[in-house]
Chain A
Amino acid sequence: MNNKLIDLQHISKSYDGSIILDDLSLYIRENEFLTLLGPSGCGKTTTLRILGGFESPDQGRVIFGGEDITKLPPNKRQLNTVFQKYALFTHMTIAENIAFGLKIKNKSKAYIDDKIKYALKLVNLDGYGNRMPDSLSGGQQQRIAIARAIVNEPKVLLLDEPLGALDLKLRQDMQYELIRLKNELGITFIYVTHDQEEALTMSDTIVVMNQGYIQQIGTPERIYNEPENAFVADFIGDSNIIDSIMLHDELVEILGAKFACVDKGFGNNKPVDVVIRPEDVELREPGKGSMEGVVTHLIFKGVHYEMEVMANGFEWLVHSTAMFPVGTKVSIHVDPYNIQIMNKPVSEDEEAVAINE
């Protein structure tokens, strides 16, 4: 991963008075698999459409390989898009679909035929060239949509929730397929999804968005383990988010009990949010942890048990391979490095973001 390929600078966009994107800045490196992740209405699809040229921003610039392409129409951009629900041309065969972009560019027939063969092989649909799109399953149509885009050798492939219409099993298969394709083609993927698991599985970089703002940018590990605010923590996986007080460096008071942590620099006696993942809550025998509580719910989830523990007036969500029946008295322990401290939201805007999640 090296130089910046795309640079979005101070992009703003609103529809009918409601702001979709507010001063968004973001760069994308060559060869990166970058995912825009967020709930519906967070602005992720609009960002992608601005990149593809289907929307123009009210303010800001789109820089591609050093050139300003903000005003360039979609047909002049070196990007190709894989659309939600595929958007195949139903009146053309699969081969004609794939050849569409190449014919526009007046490539030779031999070149086009080669490319069709290559693309169909790449997406594991050899010999489907003469079929019509309607006769294919959803997963197959999705592969054709990808094939149709990549034969044009774009530098960047934009994917707008491409797996949204597929069932769970197929979606998981396609995730691996996409990673393989990305590695074979060696190009940049910009992927839009609201599915956090999809984002964590495939991405090099995740951009978590909400209400037109970028909440956090980072690797999947960083986003999951060190969420920067309550929205990110809550959106990515389950978590316990608790109002707490940072007593001083490396010591936090959670619900009246003192916990050792590793964070520094938050100041003394400062209100903060604490995020603790359910799998990081350790249940011990009474008296052997930092806080006493009682198990109130128990569900078997296959890989682990999911329990709720009432302690100091808070319902703790706990994932554990050990089982504690309802009514069991337990003591809660959390290792210092599993406690993630976050600043309280400052502005009202961020507060709203946290509440609406």
Chain B
Amino acid sequence: MTQKKQASERFTGFLKKFYVFLIFVFLYAPIVTLMVLSFNASKTRSKWGGFTLKWYFELFENEAILKAFSNTMIIAFLSALIATILGTAACIGIRNMKKRHQGIIMGVTNIPMLNAEIVTGISLMLLFISLGIKTGFLTVLLSHITFNIPYVILNVMPKLKQVNNSTYEAALDLGASPVYAFFKVVFPDILPGVFSGFLMAFTMSLDDFIITHFTKGAGLDTLSTKIYTEVKKGIKPEMYALSTLIFITVLILLILVNKMPDPKAKEKA
């Protein structure tokens, strides 16, 4: 009976692993497909024309794609940075408000995250156009900051709640100014939250299409909007090459970050 039980346990263990494997195949199959396509000599998606690195070389001569790429990166970086500063400051401010006010503000904050993106997009578009602001780089940046701030707050707020207020008071007691005490005592504690908030904001901005689509105007293109306009004509294989490069870069960075020795573990040893 024991053997039978062990065998059945091993079988369910295998089933579980297989299930997780299938889900990740599902999630990563398109990514692998795109990577394969970036080496495809044939220009059409549906045929394999042999291996080539051609698209990687042509990518660096394709001004339009490179321009869209730099727009995407600049908007992602600036919007994440500004959102992180505004959002972190907001967290500290909100934390010091009355419970009821906190509730209302957090409710408003959650709107861009929970509302349909299409509604957020058209609402911002209506705002800019009614105010006579010409849609372009600025309007896209403002919009991205708007939908990024909630992700920053979502990451920073829990960390701020964990901060023990008496360490801040101890710093004041020992003669530190409030600003000094904040940056020396509180900030290091919430830094992981600030950092992950920035990263999440950056990722969201990078991956955004819908809101950019409504607020970008005619002259400006990010990678997303460029791809969308190319859909009907057929995607340029250089695009596959570029996204493969981006993905591989991020993957390597993440592996490096994970491989780096944990500073805390060092202290223990």
Contact = CB atoms under 8 A, between A and B. Distances in A.
Q: Is the interface of A mostly helix, strand, loop or mixed?
A: loop
Contacts of B5: 71
A71 B6 CA distance: 12
Kindly list the 3 A-B residue pairs having the minimum CB-CB distance in the complex, ordered from nearest. A71-B2, A71-B1, A71-B5
A161 B2 CA distance: 32
A71 B5 CA distance: 10
Nearest to A71: B2
3 contacts: A71-B1, A71-B2, A71-B5
Nearest to A70: B2
Interface residues of B, number: 3
Interface in A50-88: 71
Contacts of A71: 1-2, 5
A71 B2 CA distance: 8
Interface in A321-338: none
Interface string B1-32: 11001000000000000000000000000000
A57 to B, nearest CB: 13
A69 to B, nearest CB: 14
Interface in B172-196: none
Contacts of B1: 71
B7 to A, nearest CB: 15
B121 to A, nearest CB: 39
A71 B4 CA distance: 13
A67 to B, nearest CB: 15
A71 B1 CA distance: 10
Contacts of B2: 71
Nearest to B2: A71
Interface in B223-268: none
Interface string A302-321: 00000000000000000000
B6 to A, nearest CB: 11
A109 B222 CA distance: 66
A312 to B, nearest CB: 40
A71 B9 CA distance: 14
A74 to B, nearest CB: 15
Nearest to B5: A71
A58 to B, nearest CB: 13
A177 B2 CA distance: 42
Nearest to B1: A71
Interface in A70-115: 71
A108 B51 CA distance: 74
B132 to A, nearest CB: 54
Interface string A252-287: 000000000000000000000000000000000000
A249 B25 CA distance: 77
A297 B5 CA distance: 63
B8 to A, nearest CB: 14
B4 to A, nearest CB: 12
A252 to B, nearest CB: 43
A297 B118 CA distance: 77
Interface in A20-76: 71
A244 B5 CA distance: 55
B253 to A, nearest CB: 31
A59 to B, nearest CB: 13
A80 B257 CA distance: 46
B13 to A, nearest CB: 16
Interface string B97-129: 000000000000000000000000000000000
A56 to B, nearest CB: 10
B234 to A, nearest CB: 54
Interface in B108-166: none
B200 to A, nearest CB: 30
